Every structure is written in structure tokens, then in C-alpha cells.
């Protein structure tokens, strides 16, 4: 099962693909004509289609990341590297911090051929996450403290159980994440951002 452009799930185990970084689920990029599109969602869809053509996918453990996620090097049954394919087709970037440049040649080929995100303008996913978190904590947004916890408790409840499509705002998603026993399920890739289409 594909969670996002660089995370899959095999037999209930989430696996973060080693050495690459794909656009986040809610990240927007510009295409060749300057039109914005959901490049993170497009990367996930491309990965889903790629994996469906040769099953099963096999992963070799590399490490645990700082969020406690399993990080692995994965291949399809035909021995094609999943991370390498994503980078070569412009759906993810080589992440030198973790790859030591292992996918640099695939990235250069994708860039030269203007494949995937290279067709237009985009922000590296690691920079996008940093900027997104800074924007979330910007003083230009009214702090949650302006609404009393009692008022929040009256409008949002841990029952009935909710899913991201049922949630109407990032503040609501964060409230569930921090106050409900099941809230962690809203943060599918364990990056601290629940319901990334909203946050």
C-alpha cells in the first residue's frame, strides 16, 4: 500500500524509502506553464502504478529514522529499485543528507529530460516542510489560545471517531492529534503534521 510518494506499507509495516524525499501530500508545484498542481499526490499516484506492475515489493532494513519509522531500500520483484525509479522519473529527489548522492545520476537524468517535477518549478520537500512549519507558528496566525479549551472541547470531541475527509480545518486536525487516543492515525507519515491536505 502506498502512503505517500516516499512511504509504503507492507504487511502492516510502514517503510520510509531510504535516501530520497518526495513532495509532501499537500505540496504544490508549478508545471511548465506556471499552473499549480498537487505534485505530492501525483508522486504517490505514480508510485502506486509503478508498484502494481511487478509484485511483490521487497525491502531491506537500513535504519530507524528520528520518528521511529522503518527506513528501507526496496525493490520490485523484477529487481528495479523503487527509490531509483522515483528519482529517475522526477517524482522524488536524491536526498544527499541520507543517500551520500546514491541517486545523483538518476536525478541529473530526470532534470535534463524535464521529467516529473523538473518540468516546472518546485521547492525541495525538506525545505517545503521547514517553511510550512514556520508558517504554522507565524505570529500572523491567531494562536489557538484565543479560543478557550472549554470552547474547543464543546465543538470537537474524540467521539465519534474521525478521518481526515471528515475534518474541516488544520486546527481541528491538530486538536484530535494532541487530545485523542486515535489522533496519531491522522499523521500517516509521522512527521508531526496531521491531515496534510489541510495542514
Region of residue 100 (left: phi > 0; alpha: psi -120 to 50; beta: else): left
- d(C-alpha 138, C-alpha 143), whole Å: 9
DSSP 12: T
H/E element holding 37? strand 36-37
| Lookup: cell for 49 | 502504478
Highest mean pLDDT among 54-58, 163-167, 183-187: 54-58
186 burial (CB, 10 Å; 0-12 / 13-18 / 19+) is buried
pLDDT tens across 117-169, in order? 999 999 999 999 999 887 666 555 444 444 444 344 435 666 665 778 777 77
Which percentage of the chain shows pLDDT scores above 70? Answer: 86
pLDDT digits (tens, 9 = 90+) for 103-120: 999 999 999 999 999 999
pLDDT of residue 69: 87
pLDDT at residue 156, rounded to an integer: 61
Q: What is the DSSP string of 126-186?
A: HHHHHHHHHHHT-TTSPPGGGS-HHHHHHH--S-S---GGG---HHHHHHHHHH-TTGGGG
Assess whether pLDDT exceeds 90 at residue 181.
Answer: no
Amino acid at each position: 500500500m502506498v502512503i505517500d510518494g516516499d512511504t509504503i506499507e507492507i504487511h502492516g509495516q510502514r517503510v520510509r524509502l531510504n535516501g530520497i524525499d518526495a513532495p509532501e501530500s499537500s505540496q504544490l508545484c508549478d508545471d511548465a506553464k506556471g499552473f499549480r498542481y498537487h505534485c505530492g499526490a501525483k508522486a504517490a499516484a505514480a508510485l502506486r502504478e509503478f508498484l502494481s506492475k511487478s509484485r511483490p515489493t521487497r525491502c531491506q532494513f537500513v535504519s530507524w529514522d528520528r520518528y521511529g519509522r522503518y527506513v528501507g531500500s526496496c525493490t520490485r520483484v523484477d529487481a528495479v529499485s523503487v527509490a531509483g525509479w522515483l528519482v529517475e522519473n522526477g517524482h522524488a529527489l536524491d536526498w544527499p543528507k541520507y543517500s551520500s548522492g546514491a541517486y545523483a545520476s538518476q536525478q541529473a537524468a530526470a532534470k535534463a529530460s524535464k521529467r516529473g517535477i523538473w518540468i516546472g518549478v518546485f521547492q525541495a520537500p525538506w525545505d517545503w516542510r521547514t517553511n510550512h512549519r514556520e508558517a504554522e507558528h507565524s505570529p500572523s496566525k491567531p494562536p489557538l489560545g484565543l479560543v478557550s479549551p472549554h470552547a474547543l472541547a464543546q465543538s470537537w470531541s474524540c467521539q465519534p471517531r474521525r478521518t481526515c475527509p471528515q475534518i474541516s480545518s488544520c486546527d481541528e486536525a491538530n486538536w484530535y492529534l494532541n487530545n485523542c487516543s486515535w489522533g496519531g492515525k491522522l499523521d500517516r507519515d509521522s512527521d508531526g503534521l496531521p491531515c496534510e491536505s489541510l495542514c
